[in-house]
Amino acid sequence: MITIRKAAERGHTDAGWLDSHHSFSFGHYFDPEAMGFGPLRVINDDRVAGGGGFPPHPHADMEIISYVLEGGLQHRDSLGTGSVIRPGDVQRMSAGTGIRHSEFNASATDAVHFLQIWILPEADGFAPSYEQKSFGEELTNRLRLVAARDGRNGALTLHRDVDLYAGRLKAGTEVEHTFAAGRLGWLQVARGSVTVNGEELGEGDGAALERQTDLSIVAKDDAEILLFDMGR
């Protein structure tokens, strides 16, 4: 079964410096029918104006992934980590027993566009940790594993049975994925448009995938997608 959540159905926050769309309930946006999907709790599609950002704030017991589409995102945290996340990079921060971090646009003038993703960990109380890797051209015309519980194939390591794939597909490219029995899936279209087993999804659309085995994704035009393959 494929259940599509259209981009226009998402929650929306406009704070001037921040334009954010929420696939699931977040902050002041509450929808009891959209509290997450499986272990996936948050997908925020954020655009931050030049010079803007989130000042230091706390998190605990959450796996937080940042995926930049355009521009640069400056990250700092209470572990002493500091980096700029750019397109092709994926960052994972395990909040665990508690961490503080800030996220600011690395540019004073140009906007940064990124997805912030929250995944519920398999247990509370992990030690806070941080990891960032660049995948770059490895994302081209394929589904590249970028995060997984076991960190296999050079992926980031998550504290949850979730395989996260990313892909940048040229128009007309087809990629396929097979789900093991009992797995859940979520497809997020970050840019462009695709068909998923014949169903059309545009930029910002998401699709909950249940009782799916074989998945065929075809880019209608140049597209960037994230695919979650999740245990329950």
What average pLDDT does range 31-44 have in this prediction?
Answer: 97
Please check whether residue 178 is in contact with residue 215, taking contact to mean a CB–CB distance below 8 angstroms: yes
- pLDDT for 47 equals 98
Flag whether pLDDT at 81 surpasses 90. Answer: no
19/115 Cα distance (integer angstroms): 12
pLDDT 10s digits, 96-130: 999 999 999 999 999 999 999 999 999 999 999 99
Beta carbons within 8 Å of 33's beta carbon, 6+ residues apart: none
Q: What is the helix (H) or strand (E) element at residue 68, kind and residue range?
A: strand 63-70
Instruction: Fill in the DSSP letter of residue 1.
Output: -
Question: In a 10 Å sphere around its CB, with 0-12 CB exposed, 13-18 middle and 19+ buried, how is residue 28 labelled?
Answer: exposed
- pLDDT for 133 equals 97
18/112 Cα distance (integer angstroms): 10
76/216 Cα distance (integer angstroms): 38
216/178 Cα distance (integer angstroms): 9
Q: Are strands 199-201 and 206-210 parallel, antiparallel or unpaired?
A: unpaired
- pLDDT for 141 equals 98
3-state secondary structure of 139: helix
183/221 Cα distance (integer angstroms): 28
Please check whether residue 24 is in contact with residue 36, taking contact to mean a CB–CB distance below 8 angstroms: yes
pLDDT 10s digits, 56-80: 999 999 999 999 999 999 999 999 8
Domain ranges for the chain: 2-230
Instruction: Fill in the DSSP letter of residue 110.
Output: S
What average pLDDT does range 209-232 have in this prediction?
Answer: 97
What average pLDDT does range 25-45 have in this prediction?
Answer: 96
- pLDDT for 23 equals 98
What average pLDDT does range 37-42 have in this prediction?
Answer: 98
91/229 Cα distance (integer angstroms): 18
Question: In a 10 Å sphere around its CB, with 0-12 CB exposed, 13-18 middle and 19+ buried, how is residue 29 labelled?
Answer: middle
pLDDT 10s digits, 133-161: 999 999 999 999 999 999 999 999 999 99
Beta carbons within 8 Å of 218's beta carbon, 6+ residues apart: 172, 173, 174, 194, 195
What average pLDDT does range 40-45 have in this prediction?
Answer: 98
In degrees and rounded to multiples of 5, residue 8 shows phi and psi of -70, -15
- pLDDT for 88 equals 97
Flag whether pLDDT at 16 surpasses 90. Answer: yes
- pLDDT for 34 equals 96
- pLDDT for 82 equals 86
Is the pTM value of this prediction over 0.75?
yes
pLDDT 10s digits, 156-196: 999 999 999 999 999 999 999 999 999 999 999 999 999 99
Lookup: tokens for 21: 């769309």
Q: Which CATH number fits domain 2-230: 1.10.287.70, 3.40.50.300, 1.10.1740.10, 2.60.120.10?
A: 2.60.120.10
